[in-house]
A and B are shown apart, each in its own frame.
Chain A
Amino acid sequence: MSAGAPAPHTAPVGDSPISLDGYQLRLATFEGPLDVLLRLIERERLAIAEVSLVAVTDGFLAYTRELRNAPPPLLAEFAAVAGRLLVLKSRSLLPRPTTADDEAEPSDLARELAAHRALRDAAVALGELDRLGLGSFPVGSSIQRPTEPEFRLVRHAPSLLANAIRRRLATSQPSRPHPPAPRVVSLADMVRRFLGLFRQASSVKFGDVLSVGSPRDEALAAFLALLILIRRKITHANQSELFGSIEVRLVEAPSSAMLADLVRSDDLGLPR
């Protein structure tokens, strides 16, 4: 019947129960026409024989008519079984001589159905074994490490989330004041600082421009400012020995225009 069925259709036909002469057949539990036919026969407490198939033909046809949204390959199988049942039924209705073979041999459909029932019985027995949950574990089975629990998103109404946030805010401690931000010394500041020192003396030491305990970036800014002043020929620097003190001497005081130009942070001669 279906050995070469082209498309898989092992999925349940549907979810809605179908009422059949007061008998509820839940489609989700059936996989094919043989299953339905077998249950119809069992409902009538009949043996699987040609006569039983004839007896349940009407019920099967009614069931087939009720099928909704079934995949076409499955519908075709139901139609094929219905066709075979109709042949059996019409044969039983029309008078015809009975041969010994007819009496002895059950129809193909009856044999098919008997095989299906045998299989179903075997599956039920296996299912019972499965339900017991017995298992056997071979030598050398490894112990599984406990896995982290999975975090799953759950549905919450927005109002619940809002209330949760309000509760949290109501009980939270006032935030501590942020620590003061570190003082930023720009290159322009350092240039100004150098020029301020030159108002008092024409020669200063590099270390004089730095405050006591100045951080590393302030020293870097001072050194860059010194380089800028040297490049603009405003100062001259001399270091008599390695790692020794740097003596900075004013060469030419900058004009006020040059000074204004110099302290603009974007015009300190730095690469852009």
Chain B
Amino acid sequence: MNRPQRSGKQHDEADVGPPPARCVAASLPGTEPTADDELPPLLEALLLAAPESATVEQLAEAAGVSLDRVESTLADLSATNHRGWQIVRHGDRVHLATAPRFAEQVRRFLGLERESRLTGASLETLAIVAYRQPATRAEIEAIRGVDCSGVLSTLLGRGLIEVVGRLEALGNPMQYGTTPALLQHFGLASLDELPPLGAIDGVAASELLDARAASASDAV
């Protein structure tokens, strides 16, 4: 691992298998195929109307086009940065959100206080979860070198991380992953926009973190 998973890749590999490129519309009687130039505004309309994050599959079904066309159109829309909104991807879920450069003005408009800054302990824990999710508490503690129960509770309470599963190992420890709220907090369009992990003494940081996390798994 350990760049955060690219959303599209995750979708293709983890959720729906190899790229199916199927046209859902073919199974919907009365649905006309959407023209290329109409697809971007249509996706915008769907995302505006969606009460919550929509999956790529839901968008494809509603637009009557293939998953691949939705993916490529979403990528095109994400590349345009002159708008007041951005397309946010978390896993295979997509939603529209305001552009981060207008955060202050939007916050004022919504009457929101700026959220309190994260502490060093929270940032370290969040970094582990974000860069190598899913992560168990033992893995996080092996990397940080200190007990993390308190800071995990804090991050869970703020909705920045959530339990995404359980490790198939002794004790079935809980695995933590990031939430869309994390992207909103930092104003990111996807986990790909997290600052890149560097290298320490010539060794990729991701490898170092993996090795420490593996030591925790060995201990289990």
Decide yes or no: A7 and B147 within 8 Å by CB, A111-B208, A145-B111 being known contacts: yes
Report if A173 contacts B (CB, 8 A): no
Contacting A3 at CB < 8 Å: which of B138, B187, B209?
Answer: B138
In angstroms, Cα B151 to Cα A253, docked, is 93
Name the distance in Å between B142's Cβ and chain A's nearest Cβ: 5
Closest residue on chain A to residue B149 by CB atoms: A8
Contact assessment for A126 and B195 in the assembled complex, using a CB-CB cutoff below 8 Å: yes
Contact assessment for B145 and A10 in the assembled complex, using a CB-CB cutoff below 8 Å: no
Contacting B147 at CB < 8 Å: which of A2, A29, A118, A126?
Answer: A2
What are the residues of chain B within 8 A of A142 when measuring CB–CB? 110
In angstroms, Cα B103 to Cα A139, docked, is 14
B-contact 0/1 string along A56-74, CB 8 Å cutoff: 0000000000000000011
What are the residues of chain B within 8 A of A47 when measuring CB–CB? 201
Report if B59 contacts A (CB, 8 A): no
A-contact 0/1 string along B182-220, CB 8 Å cutoff: 011111110000110111110101101101100110010
Contact assessment for B146 and A48 in the assembled complex, using a CB-CB cutoff below 8 Å: no
B-contact 0/1 string along A101-135, CB 8 Å cutoff: 00000000001101111111111111111111111
Report if A217 contacts B (CB, 8 A): no
Report if B107 contacts A (CB, 8 A): yes
Contact assessment for A116 and B127 in the assembled complex, using a CB-CB cutoff below 8 Å: no
In angstroms, Cα B211 to Cα A68, docked, is 33
Closest residue on chain B to residue A6 by CB atoms: B147
Contact assessment for B184 and A3 in the assembled complex, using a CB-CB cutoff below 8 Å: no
In angstroms, Cα B200 to Cα A48, docked, is 9
What are the residues of chain A within 8 A of B100 when measuring CB–CB? 134-136
What are the residues of chain B within 8 A of A133 when measuring CB–CB? 103-104, 114
Name the distance in Å between B158's Cβ and chain A's nearest Cβ: 12
The A-contacting residues of B in range 97-126, CB under 8 angstroms, are 97-101, 103-104, 106-107, 109-112, 114-115, 117-118, 120-121, 123-124, 126
Contact assessment for B197 and A2 in the assembled complex, using a CB-CB cutoff below 8 Å: no
In angstroms, Cα B97 to Cα A8, docked, is 37
Report if A157 contacts B (CB, 8 A): no
Contacting A136 at CB < 8 Å: which of B98, B130, B142, B211?
Answer: B98
Closest residue on chain A to residue B212 by CB atoms: A115
In angstroms, Cα B194 to Cα A221, docked, is 87
The B-contacting residues of A in range 8-31, CB under 8 angstroms, are 8-11, 29, 31
In angstroms, Cα B112 to Cα A74, docked, is 39
Contact assessment for B146 and A5 in the assembled complex, using a CB-CB cutoff below 8 Å: yes
Report if B144 contacts A (CB, 8 A): yes
Chain B interface bracket (under 10, 10 to 19, 20 to 34, 35 or more): 35 or more
Contacting A139 at CB < 8 Å: which of B48, B180, B197?
Answer: B48
Name the distance in Å between A71's Cβ and chain B's nearest Cβ: 10
Contacting B209 at CB < 8 Å: which of A5, A33, A119?
Answer: A119
Contacting B110 at CB < 8 Å: which of A1, A119, A121, A144?
Answer: A144
In angstroms, Cα B111 to Cα A145, docked, is 7
Closest residue on chain A to residue B100 by CB atoms: A134
Report if A254 contacts B (CB, 8 A): no
Report if B150 contacts A (CB, 8 A): yes
Report if A4 contacts B (CB, 8 A): yes
Chain A interface bracket (under 10, 10 to 19, 20 to 34, 35 or more): 35 or more
What are the residues of chain B within 8 A of A132 when measuring CB–CB? 187
Name the distance in Å between B157's Cβ and chain A's nearest Cβ: 15
In angstroms, Cα B141 to Cα A73, docked, is 14
Contact assessment for B114 and A118 in the assembled complex, using a CB-CB cutoff below 8 Å: no
Decide yes or no: A4 and B138 within 8 Å by CB, A33-B145, A141-B110 being known contacts: yes
Contact assessment for A3 and B186 in the assembled complex, using a CB-CB cutoff below 8 Å: no
Contact assessment for A144 and B112 in the assembled complex, using a CB-CB cutoff below 8 Å: yes
Name the distance in Å between A168's Cβ and chain B's nearest Cβ: 36
Contacting A118 at CB < 8 Å: which of B47, B120, B209?
Answer: B209
Name the distance in Å between A130's Cβ and chain B's nearest Cβ: 5
Name the distance in Å between B188's Cβ and chain A's nearest Cβ: 7
What are the residues of chain B within 8 A of A180 when measuring CB–CB? none
What are the residues of chain A within 8 A of B121 when measuring CB–CB? 10, 31
Name the distance in Å between A101's Cβ and chain B's nearest Cβ: 17
The 6 A-B pairs at the shortest CB distance, nearest first, are namely A134-B187, A118-B205, A125-B195, A144-B111, A134-B100, A115-B208
Given A4-B138, A74-B146, A137-B107, list of 6 further CB < 8 A pairs?
A: A135-B100, A135-B185, A136-B183, A138-B97, A139-B50, A143-B111
Q: List 20 A-B contacts (CB under 8 A).
A: A1-B145, A2-B146, A3-B141, A10-B146, A31-B145, A35-B145, A111-B211, A116-B143, A122-B127, A122-B195, A123-B127, A124-B123, A126-B127, A126-B186, A129-B187, A130-B185, A133-B103, A136-B188, A137-B106, A137-B107
